[in-house]
Structure 1
């Protein structure tokens, strides 16, 4: 279908109204009256069960000016001046149909738009309001004119809408829609032409800004490449560059690991230094420096130095990685951490373990103690349980002269306790070969008192990575945890269920995975865990942390869909929501369906 077909003149109002009524009552379409793009949209809207009489779009709100809105601002300002005496509204939306901004000089039209909820913060996707210039342009990906009774909802029949998609000029990604809306009585043939030309001007503006950013990034990239012996990467939301030295030095697996590690620095406005344990066994130091185009962040340049044959935490030569009792994982990242902690234990060097909650710091220390001290004494003193006698107990443990003492969550200690603990550690510093002491703490936020007074007593710090940085260990970790949780029963997991688990961000790390598997094991005690056995939080791929209410809603949607074997109509009915709403929930929460 050629592009011109989408913007041909709409049919006369009375014939179109009759065709719409016929379609809504019987499902029959008059192809002589209703244009093909409108036919397709009506069918989609009907399948989504969009209400034809009542408008109820979701209000999603706005979090501040988007990058698209900021780039489009001068273009839309100029257009607003040109249309200052016209009864036309200028509307900009994102790629999901969320209205970002609206400009309209006619108070009467503003009132009509407000009544139709066509205002900032509301969604005008097809699944929300049916056929319209915004949602239908997004679905089709081409400029679309919708006039009068071509709208699926009767409440929009008084409007004429011309929507033109806006694409990124470099990547081609759909960014949003520029929509011009007027009343049907004020509509004319120039509405669509004006919308298309304005969208093209916004794309040109995007190209100019993108070009300036890419030029600034490329300049810094070339400067970094002048240093001999360095692998260099340049990163931005739109591109990745890697110089020949990096491509020749690292195989594909190592390159993928470098890119994954660089994600921790992407978007940072300050320099960052990272250490990456690569699948090949190499250790790479990654120095990230941001690149700017004027005040705007253009991306970043990463210089890569190989620390071949050295441990990333201690700088010691590599040794064979021991088999760690009670732990699972064979990735280079995880084994490097295990090796660093084991090396410290064998040398009697006190160590600090940093990392997010739930990554397994205590489990790692317990495993090393069991490996090197057999059934020897292992005591954990939790800073969250600090009381009047807490320091006395620590003193008794240090005086015992044997075993391992772990100060857990040290970042929670108050100033007085930090000072007292520092004095105790100093007193027993000469007896390090007696009691081995380890500290665990979060990487962020920092406790300045702990950093200043306690860390000097410890020879080095080991960063325990979050689970999302070594997801390849899930192949070993999941069966290991299932074996511990379900002793005596043979409980396995299917490849599809394991693959789904590996798609998730695991913001709660290994502890969150353990809780999930415990819930599954309480329901299925033998056999094979399938995708449908996973709880709601594992059937969605949202990368943001959900509120408790959102988590409950997500789980309810997943449960209803599983019960009704993917039938969205029945699931929506059980939940008391419309079919359009359940589609939006599935999309927003990233719910995965297999039925």
Structure 2
């Protein structure tokens, strides 16, 4: 666009202008109706609102995003955010700025979180309009911050999008029309950020979307040209592997995963975290090795080849899948039980399918079930679910740590009973528990930690119950990504859109989890509450867990990371000063920060 877009005339032909204003009014009324009626409101598409805009509005309503002026999150120093993206975009925006000349069109670049890291606008009146709308460097333009817009919504939809003035969720952006496009990492297709053009709505041009998309592709071209020698070597190894292979092929490094067409379905943060943690700790040497690999979709036989010399952070692995992944729930179920099944499999009572079968079998045969395991391992959840599945109603819970066991469970009127914390019972109380269990005419389940219980409790459990032992979370660390997904799916609207990156999942897999499943649930819920709908990385995890991401590094790498953190601390977070103190260049420091996953606040 070499000159200023032609405004819609208001005087020569008032008809079109009135129609535009009428359309904008109807769009705004549709949003107000959705805000009044909430998420249960009927679709507003009959008002002329596009499906993509309504989807975004509904996400914003679910996340309770304010619609008027409010305190939008702001980051003062944006130059340290996404340095590779910044470097790739700067020359493209410089050229476009020269081509646009005096046209009143602003350019914006955001990172993958929706934070504006670059703005180009030269005309003073336009700058005032943008500043009044908080459309400036440092402001968070994600959907959960400011609602539907040409940066945050594009990042969420992962496709080019034009957002007209009245389609913006927040009234601050009403005067603007924005055309945005996503920017992806070459080959891996990881979202790096978004680019958008913006102008006054009455000066918008239908060519803005095509221009924004073209700029995005130019930035991606620069990112490709910036790839280092080790990345090119990795891509070459991948191309050689896929040239003669029709099976799914996945290549993983510590920070990257990509695949051929058949393998793309498996390229997810969950699969990357599982594959990397398993393979890097496997001790595989050069050459091809046949082994079972764990994917997010199940277990599969594969040929794994270690690729050396591709980077400073360790090896790469080329994984050729030899068969379709086996469903993890079916894969862990004993064959004899699988043979008796038909139709849809019952819901899991525990993350491990064989544990679910043990629980279901004990209750199904009318046996007294004792669910044993360490604190936080999900004993009460498993016992309650097993009895509820058998009876069709929630059982009565009696917590023996707080109340005495009744002499007769029948007197409670319950159709099933869970006796919680049996290991806390002692003396006369334990004798009463035993009598109540022996005389019970309803299904009964106990929860107990036999590792901490005294001999009397262990004797009662051994004499009366069928015991199912629940493993600690570290003993089933491969289930962590799937458990995180289940926990997030059960959160309130807005929070359930939260995503965990592969590096965060790797840290969670490697964490010792002294609090077991209870600690995992509390951690995931807390992170989703603090960053609803966002992408959770290692830097967002509790400090004690961030160190888990470094497990397996050598002494030299650990010392180098500690030196960088110390230099940053002494420089007050100023990376230029820290680089000078370390005797390295600023670019090298950026690479080290990414390599060692050092958070920006260090």
TM, length-normalised to structure 2: 0.42
TM, length-normalised to structure 1: 0.42
The structure having more radius of gyration, on CA atoms, is 1
